[in-house]
Amino acid sequence: MASQMSSKPSKRVIVARPMRRKSIPPSGHYPRTQPYNRVIASVTIDSKMETNSNRTLEEELLPRYTGKPLNAPAWEVYDALTRFGFKIGATSKSPNPGVYNTLRVTYRGIYVGIMTQAAWRQVPPWLILHRFPATSPRQSVARTPEGFDPETFAREHGVDPATLYLDYVKSENKHYLYTLTVGTTVKLMRDWARHIDGDVFSLDRNTSDSTLPGDIDEIQKSARTKERKQVLVDARMGQGKYRDELLREFGSTCAVTRLSLVSALRASHIVPWAKAEDDEKTDPINGLLLSANVDALFDRYLITFDPDGTLRQSALLDHHDLANLGPLGDLLAPPPARRAAYLRRHSEEFDKRERERAAIVARSANS
């Protein structure tokens, strides 16, 4: 697409923005005829919105979309959200085959918002229909929760309630929440992203960090000798002899990135402490010297290495994540046989979690 982008300067367009309303109803819906004041804001539309191709921009970025062309506010939302790793694609909400005039907003495959031509052509534009976590935190619903109060919602999320619109659909007896400004849209969507990353897709109940205090307590209360306790504590914390042996084996460089800043390197367990036998916990072959970001991904099974050292990444890591993480690759040296056996166990757990993640995404797609 880069070769098709125009070299012309960015185009300036005029977009109407709503000013803060003096008051809003604490409940119920906001009438569509409610008056609002308008101010004119100058918005820069990114140069990627122009193309020398004969295809329209919708065909370029939204290949299945069959609705009317997006207007300037809709494109502004598209540009803002995709910069933060959200994906926007056409979906069918029509009984007619081949009609894809609704845009679905997702984050790591989870359905978080809807854009429709009827909404973004309102005055002022309704930018995103915000979806809410359902009873199961791994799905979402479009209708507002029972007893929903927009003032409370706005306060909890740190947004101006005047930038929200609560629509009531009488035929369904349901309320739906729309955003009216790009800033509020991005804020709510990024809150959704944090919820997904922290609660929905973590699947890291036994990560190294989360179990550290309990593991140390267990060691100290055990009947082991004082010397053995210290060895285990050091190994659990990635310190002592365990770390020294990994630093020596890997030449004080990350096994993946060649980073040699020792203070940023972690002595990472392959088979995690909670699942390792006592002798495996202090075995440096059950370890890799990794830079902190690689260690965090490895510890949470967002990446793994096959027994031959080949990198595999979770389907949840998209191009946005990878661009910000920097280069990731295979292990720089082929693992010895015993380390390959440990890596096989890590890969098996990775595959199990990927299946769980795929099931979560599938449930969201059908919600």
247 shares its domain with 282: yes
Q: ∠ CA 335-336-339 to the nearest 5 degrees?
A: 75
| pLDDT(38) > 50 | no
Give the residue numbers spanning the domain of 291. Answer: 208-365
Query: In 3-state terms, what secondary structure has residue 78?
Result: helix
Task: Give the pLDDT band (50/70/90) at residue 1.
Answer: very low
Domain boundary among 179, 200, 221: 200
Task: Indicate if 240 and 189 belong to the same structural domain.
Answer: no
Weakest-pLDDT range from 14-18, 144-148, 354-358: 14-18
Token pair recorded at residue 305: 């290495």
289 exposure class (CB count in 10 Å sphere: 0-12, 13-18, 19+): buried
Same domain, 311 and 189: no
Q: Are residues 129 and 244 in the same domain?
A: no
User: Is there a single domain that holds both residue 140 and residue 221?
Assistant: no
Number of domains in the chain: 2
Least confident of 37-41, 97-101, 125-129, 186-190: 37-41
Confidence category of residue 213, pLDDT binned at 50, 70, 90: low
Same domain, 195 and 47: yes
- The average confidence (pLDDT) of the chain is 78
Asked if the model's pLDDT at residue 188 lies above 70, the reply is: yes
Q: From 143, 169, 200, give the residue that closes a domain.
A: 200
- Specify the pTM: 0.64
pLDDT of residue 239: 60
213 and 257, same structural domain?
Answer: yes
Instruction: Give the sign of the dihedral formed by CA 203, CA 207, CA 209, CA 211.
Output: positive
Helix intervals (H) in 196-314:
208-221, 226-236, 240-249, 278-281, 292-299
Helix axes 208-221, 226-236, angle to 10 degrees: 180
Residues 212 and 271 reside in one and the same domain: yes
Whole-number pLDDT of residue 198: 74
Q: What is the pLDDT of residues 261-306, one digit of tens each?
A: 999 999 999 998 778 887 888 899 999 999 999 998 998 899 999 9
**Number of Cβ within a 10 Å radius of residue 70:** 23
- Indicate whether 118 and 136 sit together in one domain: yes
Distance CA(130)–CA(142), nearest Å, equals 7
152 and 115 part of one domain: yes
Q: Are 149 and 164 in contact (CB under 8 A)?
A: no
Of 169, 200, 231, the domain-final residue: 200
